[in-house]
Amino acid sequence: MDQNEKKPVSFAGGAFSVLLAVLVLCGICLLIASFAGNDKQPTGTVYLRESLHVWNTGVFPKPEEFLADSADYMVSSVRYQRAPKDQDGTQTVALEMQLEDGTTRIETSELTIESPEMTWEIGTEVDIHEMLGEAYADAELLDTLPPRVLPGDYFVNVKIGGEVIPFILHAQDTTPPAVKFVDPLVFHVGDMVLEKHFVDSWEDICNEVTFVLSADVNTAEPGVYPISMTATDENGNGITYDLTYTVIE
């Protein structure tokens, strides 16, 4: 009789052990799932900017500059997993973030590094916003260029977002002379006609422009003759005009 009374007690103890084991196993599973989910981004949360553009001044952007405005308060610290490459171009960088809730996240962003250079066509207005692009509407050129600028490279300082960045300004001249010709081009039989007799005026940033005719002017007989003239400035910019002239008695 005593043995029969002990059986229910033994059964209850076994059930309790099984229940305890199940609870422990569930706890372990939840713990594993919690750690495994640390690198998953909650729906609607953006921690990093998709991309960041910087000028190559020899200093990498701080990791904090990659943080999205909406996530700044959720991140206690951020660092590069590996330092970016010191070269122009676009590269993928990985950043490790310590969140305010104690978890750690690793995400990537695109970093574009560009040399601080811009090109200006001599003779046109110095429009730094046009040279750099609409994204730099707040840019300010701090140096004044001299009245006469020859093609070449010049060092200028540009203020962007409160930071002064030394730029290389590539000053170039790719514009050929604009020539106005005598109208009408009429000569008499026997006249000695030179290039200067064709040109009324010209405009160019260079002081010297050379004019060359494609052939000698024929004034031996009356008639209408085709001819070409090439105008070249001292920076090597040339343009050819197709013309006709008339010879009369």
The full set of domain ranges for the chain reads 46-114, 117-172, 178-248
User: In the chain, what percentage of residues exceed pLDDT 90?
Assistant: 72
Token pair of 19 as six digits: 């229940």
pLDDT range class, residue 23, cuts 50, 70, 90: low
Mark 93-111 as b/e (b = at least 16 C-beta within 10 Å).
Answer: bebebebeeeeebebebeb
What does the pLDDT average to over 37-55?
74
Of 95 and 18, more confident: 95
Query: How confident is the model at residue 146, as a pLDDT?
Result: 86
pLDDT range class, residue 15, cuts 50, 70, 90: low
CATH class name, domain 46-114 = mainly beta
- Predicted TM-score (pTM) of the model is 0.69
pLDDT tens-digit profile of 205-216?
998 999 999 999
Torsion of CA 55, 150, 138, 47, to 10 degrees: -20
Query: How confident is the model at residue 27, as a pLDDT?
Result: 55
pLDDT tens-digit profile of 174-210?
999 999 999 999 999 999 999 999 999 999 999 899 9
What CATH number belongs to 178-248? 2.60.40.10
